[in-house]
Amino acid sequence: MDPDVDRLALVSDEGTAIGEDYTLALAARLVLRHRRGPVVTNLSTSRLVEDVAAAAGVPVIRAPVGEVNVAVRMREQRAAVGGEGNGGVILPEVHLGRDAPVAAALLLQLLHEEGRPLSQIVAELPRYVIMKDKLDRPAASLDAVYDALRLAFPGAAVDSEDGLRLSWPDRWVHVRPSGTEPIVRVIAEAPTSGEAAELVSRSRAPLDALIA
């Protein structure tokens, strides 16, 4: 747990840190066994959540980055569970805020119901690699960058609710200005590190050109 007790990172029975994106996915796996409803998460969260939701037959609804944005969307959509890929889980039956003790309780219940160690549960889930990059925010508008990226990736599904997110069935890239720092974040996820790195590199190109 982190100092304000709203995010939970997991270490497996083998002593391996499994990645904060697994916290929400595993919590959703448990919750969706007991009640149906959409899962809400932000645009920069791993598609692991989509895999878990698809297995349960429910949709994933994406919201802009930020706890309050996810919480508001959860309330609107009557979500069963939600949160962010930073280890933050929101269970609306308790309250509409990230809560690490709630996440820990859900994970312990999952382990109890599965009757097997965390490493075996995680091994069943798809593996993705997330890469995160950042650069100084240019003085000019980012609209030209977004237009260039749409042209560079013509086959992608587009979400422009929070910067620009381009997605495919097994990968995505999200380019957005930070709400707290004068930077632009570039986050990509793909099945391999090479593919994720390529998405980051190609998505940085129009930003680098704008800064140069």
Tell me, which fold does domain 21-123 have in CATH? Alpha-D-Glucose-1,6-Bisphosphate; Chain A, domain 3 (3.40.120)
The fourth-level CATH superfamily of domain 129-211 is Alpha-D-phosphohexomutase, C-terminal domain (3.30.310.50)
pLDDT at position 4, please?
79
pTM exceeds 0.85 = yes
Residue recorded with tokens 């994406």? 62
pLDDT at position 87, please?
95
Which residues have a Cβ under 8 Å from the Cβ of 193 and sit 6 or more positions away?
129, 131
pLDDT at position 8, please?
96
pLDDT at position 3, please?
60
pLDDT at position 123, please?
96
How far, in Å, are 90, 96, 114, 185 from residue 180 at the CA level?
A: 22, 22, 40, 11
Spell out the domain ranges in the chain: 21-123, 129-211
pLDDT at position 100, please?
96
> Which stretches of the chain drop beneath a pLDDT of 70?
1-3, 212
Beta bridge partners of 39: 60, 81
pLDDT at position 160, please?
97
